[in-house]
Amino acid sequence: MSDGLRRWRRLTIAAVVTMAVLGTTLWQGGLLPAPWPVGVAVTVVAGLALVLAVWTLVQNLDLLTPASWFGPQDLEVPPSRPGLDARLARLRRHLRDTVERDDRPDAMQELLRELAADRLAARGVDLDADPQAAEALMHPSLTRYLAHSPQDTRPRNRRELADVVGRIEEL
């Protein structure tokens, strides 16, 4: 028996089994049209469509690429790109996600808090150990932003983030 004939035989068996299962399921659920010839025709067409879709996918597996469902923190910049700092790429990705996406938490608040803490530490003030001294050096809008960690995933205002970055640079 030739390879092509074997393949068609397998496809025919798969189609018949699929149509039998599909027809039984639709019949039990009361979803087939009333006259039985129409119900059989619907089952045959739906079964053939399903079998052909699966067969097409199997024939073209080499063209399919797997989906990647990793968050932005799991992505790394490949080392083969010289001159691109992974920290800057991560910062750019966090900034984009913070102002454009509504399905991810705000990663910029934590990063900006670290930057502010570093700037304050350079001036001899510890943000966590001495919050009153830190507040005295910071602008009130920066203090408000750093004090309240966002609990939702709504996109952040670009102007607010620009203001916060400017206030950190003033430190």
pLDDT digits over 68-78, tens only? 655 555 455 45
Average pLDDT over residues 116-123: 85
Tokens coding 55: 């067969």
Buried-state track 47-77, b at ≥16 Cβ within 10 A, e below 16: beebbeeeeeeeeeeeeeeeeeeeeeeeeee
Average pLDDT over residues 14-27: 77
pLDDT digits over 125-162, tens only? 888 888 888 888 888 888 888 887 777 777 777 788 88
pLDDT at 168: 82
CA-nearest of 99, 103, 105, 112 to 147 is 112
pLDDT digits over 78-93, tens only? 555 555 566 667 777 7
Measured CA to CA in angstroms, residue 157 lies from 84, 106, 163 at distances of 27, 11, 10
pLDDT at 44: 77
Average pLDDT over residues 30-37: 73
133 or 55, higher pLDDT: 133
Average pLDDT over residues 38-49: 78
Measured CA to CA in angstroms, residue 66 lies from 63, 72, 118 at distances of 10, 17, 41
Average pLDDT, the chain: 76
CA 40 to chain centre: 41
